[in-house]
Amino acid sequence: MVKTNKVTTTLAYYSGTVRVSIKALRLLSEPQYITLMINMESNQLAFVPSTKEDRAALKVRYRGSINKNGKFVNSCKLVRKVFDLEEWDSRYRYQVPGIYIPEANVAYFDLSKAKKVFRNYTIKEGDGEINGI
1 within domain boundaries: no
60 within domain boundaries: yes
Q: What's the pLDDT band for 109 if we cut at 50, 70, 90?
A: very high
For 88, the domain range is 6-130
CA 100 to chain centre: 13
Query: Cα angle at 49 between 107 and 11, to 5 degrees?
Result: 55
105 within domain boundaries: yes
> What is the per-residue pLDDT for 67?
53
- Provide the whole-model pTM: 0.79
Quote the CA–CA distance of 30 and 78 in Å, as a whole number. Answer: 21
Lowest mean pLDDT among 9-13, 46-50, 117-121: 117-121
89 within domain boundaries: yes
> What is the per-residue pLDDT for 73?
84
48 within domain boundaries: yes
42 within domain boundaries: yes
CB 57 within 8 A of CB 48: no
For residue 127, pLDDT over 80 is answered with no
b/e sequence 46-68, b meaning 16+ C-beta within 10 Å? bbbbbeeeeeebbebeeeeeeee
| The residue type at 8 | T
For residue 31, pLDDT over 70 is answered with yes
Q: How many domains does the chain have?
A: 1
The pLDDT of 72-93, averaged and rounded, is 90
37 within domain boundaries: yes
72 or 39: which leads in pLDDT:
39
